[in-house]
Every structure is written in structure tokens, then in C-alpha cells.
Amino acid sequence: MTIRILPVILFCSILSAQVYSPKLLEQGQPDPTDLSRLAEGIYAQAHAQTAREKAEAIWRFFLTDGRYVKPGFWYHIAGWAYEEPYGEVLDPIKLLNSYGFGLCYHIAPLLQAVFKAGGFEDARTWFLTGHTVTEVFYEGAYHYFDSDMMGYNVAGVGSFQGKPVASVRQIERDPSIFLGKLQTANQVKEGTVDYPWYPADVHEKAIADLANLFTTTNDNYLYSGSRYAMGHSMDFVLRPGEKLIRFFKPEEPNLYYLPYKFDGQKWSEFPQEIAEYQIRTNDGPRSQKDARLWATGRIEYAPKQGLEQPVTVIQMPSPYVIIDARCKMNPQLASKEDGVRVETSVDGGKTWLAAGEISGPRNAEWSTEPKVIVKSEHGRLTAVSGSYGYQVKITRLGGARVQAGSLLLVSRVQLNPRSLPAVHQGENSFVYSSSLAQERINIPAPLDKANVHDLECSSEQGQELLHPSSSSPGEADYVLEADGRSLNGFDVGARFLDLSKGLAPDKLTAETRTTKLSTRRGVASITRASIAWATSPAGPFQTIWAYPTNIHWPDGEAVDRLLNWPEAFQQIRNLPASTKRVYVKFLSAGPAIDNIRLAVYAAAAPTATGLTITQQWREGQAMKEHVEHITGAAKSFRFQVNSPAGLRNEALVFSAE
């Protein structure tokens, strides 16, 4: 029943002071680590005041073609925003910070999340079987904005000025909202649209096909709740001796997170070559429209503590998706009986995979990496690829010693460079901040290892679901703790799935697939599901989320073509003082459950460690840098950097002292 974080020896904040979630932004830069601050920053940049202006500002910020908005935060590419076991990435914080690219089924949920965080009463996502779109509710109606295909529509004829933006259901009933804007199949009537207006579809004479997606209504489905999956956080900790290095481009041309899919039998590369659109996997996830790229970074940790115990376990969390990792040290092995073994785990220590082992006699630097699961044409999948943290277990065998100060753990990560604070020509103002002294610890929750009662885990083509195994309500139980420290709060989330229509989410396409599983156990059972928590295994348990039985329709117009797959996510911060454990139950008498997300916030030592911020750029061939030293007590700090024209940003480095 218990998910514990209790390694033999754990280097963590109870051993030394650390720096908590240090952040650097340009003055006025929308903050990609927080959806509400991101929306407010977008509004401020656009000088948006009215609801319509705010909705349009968010739409423009995420337009996929960089010609229409700078710096072109998001671009369109297939196949690269995917993470096993849950498939296409639907977490907005991951999409903003680790990716910055994707298809309609990524950007539509992201728009929904930012609209709602930006203060709108409601936003919702439609699956049109061929395209995924988002509407936002204001001024008593829904309005459809499409950042992926780059357009929005007004009803009526003539100028678009002063007319309200149409909804999905308006377009379903009246295709002239699209077609009436055309002079010819590839020419728009002057003044009838706001640019950009579906430029690729206009160029390809495909506006009629786009309109047809809306008007063939039988396969248009509305997601009944949030389509996005909250749960990830950019909170992180820098320990003494740890660096976070973020580059503005790939550190190496062929370095990127290469997604792999698992079909229940084997692993294979997920991105597909598409010659028609010049998409080549060995190009990495680059924009096919312009020069925009992904970027990479490194987390380097040289622990101050030595390896004094026979077995040492070290946490290596990351706010960014991990590409690969490496462990370096200088083992001192006097005889063949002496050795060092390195293993990694991504499921909280339940499963360990061998990374490397060495035996003596030897006294020289040694390097090893996590186990390689599969090699393929364009890359490889390691035991930590696609995760956001892992544990490293180092076992000394016989009389083996490790030279003091020689241990170095390195994680290489992928990130969206347009989320970084860039240095520009002229005077630059930057704002530094850090958070409270607390540590966020993600709790892995693989479905096949869940502690369940009257639930079973079934897999269809590598896609796992927990579902009731009898007529009794089932539950999955978890105990959340952090090596005995007091808890400040916890996050809990999951997706609950009504499969009674024979449809389930497809992790490969973020669309639908047929399923042989059924959640129907009587009509009332379909919606009986909840999440509850307590500070004692005996309870009392407090329900913090229940499957919605009545959907609120802000415009008064009910939709019966629903995909009832609500995403649940709750943040609890009002724990009783000195709480050390939290007990969480996921309950269901009908819906299946997947994508369980758990994290705790643990008390930590006060910040005392200093932080060095280094901004690096090139002027011609010369490397330049600006360095700021932040004292451990500083929670916020402002500084300026003056730079000439023609510079190229290289890296932003945080180094804990």
C-alpha cells in the first residue's frame, strides 16, 4: 500500500541548505512556469483590456508561424511531444517549457489552460475527427480561436471589424462563416478577415475541407472537462555543487529528446518521416517553416558529501524532460574483489536497472550511463529518457573506495529556448526570484504497480487502464511521505474515463480509439468516482474531487456529443501542522482511471547557499558573459545588462555554491 521515499542514504535538503526554484526573467517577459502569470504577461505585452482583446492576445502569442508574432513561442511539428506511458503530452507546463512545439491536439488544450488561467469564465476543447480546436467563453457566448491553423472567424458578411468571433456550433450550422470569406478557392475577400487567416489552407485551396470538418457533426465531440492534464511543476532545487545549464540551441546538432512508443511488445521511434512536408527525423524537432529550433541543457551535480556508506542513493530530479544521463567517478579498486555498481530507478525505487559495474584492480576515472533499452536508426532510449527525474544507486563492493570529490552526475535535458530570458541589443532589465524553502517531490505512480482493491490493470496495445473488476466500488491507495519530513502540501491528479460508448483515448494520436473494456455497471455507476485524502489510514477521508454528474453550460446550449474523460487535479496546502504522511484514495464504481499524478511539498532547510547567475552570449566569435552573485537570503533581485548589436545568446547558467 505504501509508496515510500526511503533509500539507504539520500542526499537531500535535510543535509544542507539549498536554492529553491531560482528564476530569471526579462522585465515584462510572460512567465512560462506559471499559467496565470503567463496570461497576465501576454495581456500586458498586447495592452489588452477587454475580453476580446485578451482572447486575441493569447491566440496571437501561440501562432505557429513566427512571421506573425515574435519571438514565435510555439511552432507546428508532428511526432515530437510524446512521452510514455501516457502518450501525447497534454500537460501545459511541460508543453511550454520542455517543448514549445506540437500539433493541434497539443496547442488546443494549452490554449484552454491559458484561457482559464487568464481569468475567463470557461474554455473548452473540441475533437473534430481530423482537427482539435478550442473555444473561450466571454460576453455570453463561446468563441473559437485557432492558433494551430492560424485563424478565427466572424459571422456575417463584409468587414470583420466590430463583429463577434464565431463559435464551433455556429460554424457547424453555417459553413458560410468560412466559405463566405473567399473570393476564389485560394483568395480571400479583402477586409473580411483578420490576418493571419488559415494561410496554409488558403494556399492549398483547402478552406472548404476545413469547413467540412465542422459541418460533418456526427463525429464532432466535445471534451466534457479540461482536456489538459495539470500536474507538472517547474519547481526545482539546486543543491550545493549543482548547476543548471540551459542553452539557447542544441548543445550538439543531433541532441534532442527522441520519443519512443511501446505497443505492449516492443519499443520503436515515435516520430515518422513525412517526405511531403520535408519532415526528417534526423533533423530533430525543428520548425519546418523557419529557423526556430529546440534547445538542450544540463543538470550537473557534484555532491559535497562523500560515498561513505556501502550503498548510497541520490535523487536526480529535473524540471525538464530528460534526454539521457551519465555518472562519472574515480573508483579506487585495489583488487578484483573490489568494485562499484551503479543502478537507476524511475519508479521511486521499486525497480532498479543496472547502469554499469566495474571491478579492480583500477584507480582511474570511470564513466557509465543508464541502461540502453533500445537503439534505433536515429537514436536510443535509455532507462531515464522521457522522465523528469530518477534515482541513482551506487553500491561499493569489497573494499572499494571512491575518490573524494570525484563523483559527478549529469542529466541532459530538452527545453524550449523561447522560454528563456534572452539578452538583446541595448539596455536589458532582468528580474531574479526564488521560492519558499520547500522541496517538491514527484511520486511515481505506475498503474501496474498500484495497490488496488476491486480494480484491475488492463493493457490494450501498450495502453494501460485501471478499471473496476467487480460490482463493488474499487480503489487505488497511496501513502505520500518524504523521508520523515513535515509536509506543506500535496498535488494529486488523474484522468477518469467513461468507456461506455466503446471509445477510449488513444495515446498515439491524442484522439479516440475503440476499446473492448467497458465501464458500464448500471447507469448510476458510470459517474461514481472520486479522490479523497486523510492524515490517518483509518480516516476520516475528505473528498476533494468527484466525477461531475451535471455539466454547467454557460451559454445555455447543451451538447450531447461528449467525451466524458474529465481530468482531475487538486492542490492541497492546508495540511495540519507536523503532518508526515498523507493517505490518498482513488475510487471508482464505473470510470476507468489512468495518468495518476502525485507530488508532495516537504519542509526543507532555510536558504543559505549562494547562487551564481551567468549569462553567456557571442559578439562575433568572442564569448561574452555577465555574472551576478545572489546571496542565499535574497528572494528577489533586479539588474541590468547593456549589450551591442549582433549578439547571439548562448547559455544561462545557475550554479549553487
Q: What is the pLDDT of residues 447-472, one digit of tens each?
A: 999 999 999 999 998 999 999 988 88
Q: What is the pLDDT of residues 15-44, one digit of tens each?
A: 456 889 999 999 999 999 999 999 999 999
Q: What is the pLDDT of residues 165-224, one digit of tens each?
A: 999 999 999 999 999 999 999 999 999 999 999 999 999 999 999 999 999 999 999 999
The mean pLDDT of 548-572, rounded to a whole number, is 95
- 9 pLDDT band (50/70/90 cuts)? very low
Q: Among 586, 578, 568, 583, which Cα is nearest to 490's? A: 583
**Cβ neighbours of residue 29 under 8 Å, at least 6 residues apart?**
41, 421
The mean pLDDT of 305-330, rounded to a whole number, is 95
189 within 8 A of 182, measured Cβ to Cβ: yes
The mean pLDDT of 357-368, rounded to a whole number, is 95
Q: Is the pLDDT of residue 333 over 60?
A: yes
Q: What is the pLDDT of residue 520?
A: 56
Give the span between the Cα atoms of 145 and 202, in whole angstroms. Answer: 17
- 281 pLDDT band (50/70/90 cuts)? confident
Cell of 178: 468560412
The mean pLDDT of 476-501, rounded to a whole number, is 95
Q: Which fold has domain 19-223?
A: C8orf32 fold (3.10.620)
What pTM value is reported for the model? 0.95
Q: What percent of the chain has pLDDT over 90?
A: 85
Per-chain mean pLDDT for the chain? 93
| Residue whose entry in the numeric block shows the C-alpha cell 533509500 | 7
β-pairing verdict for 408-415 and 331-333: unpaired
Q: What is the pLDDT of residue 6?
A: 35
The mean pLDDT of 513-517, rounded to a whole number, is 92
Q: What is the pLDDT of residue 608?
A: 67
Q: Is the pLDDT of residue 11 over 50?
A: no
**Cβ neighbours of residue 113 under 8 Å, at least 6 residues apart?**
35, 92, 123, 226, 228, 230
466 within 8 A of 476, measured Cβ to Cβ: yes
Class of domain 300-413: mainly beta
**Domain residue extents for the chain:** 19-223, 300-413, 438-603
Q: CA–CA distance from 27 to each of 34, 429, 431, 510, 615 (Å)?
A: 16, 5, 6, 36, 15
Q: Is the pLDDT of residue 352 over 80?
A: yes
Q: H/E element holding 402?
A: strand 401-402
| Residue whose entry in the numeric block shows the C-alpha cell 519508479 | 347
* 300-413 and 438-603: identical CATH topology: yes
- 279 pLDDT band (50/70/90 cuts)? low
Q: What is the pLDDT of residue 18?
A: 87
Class of domain 438-603: mainly beta
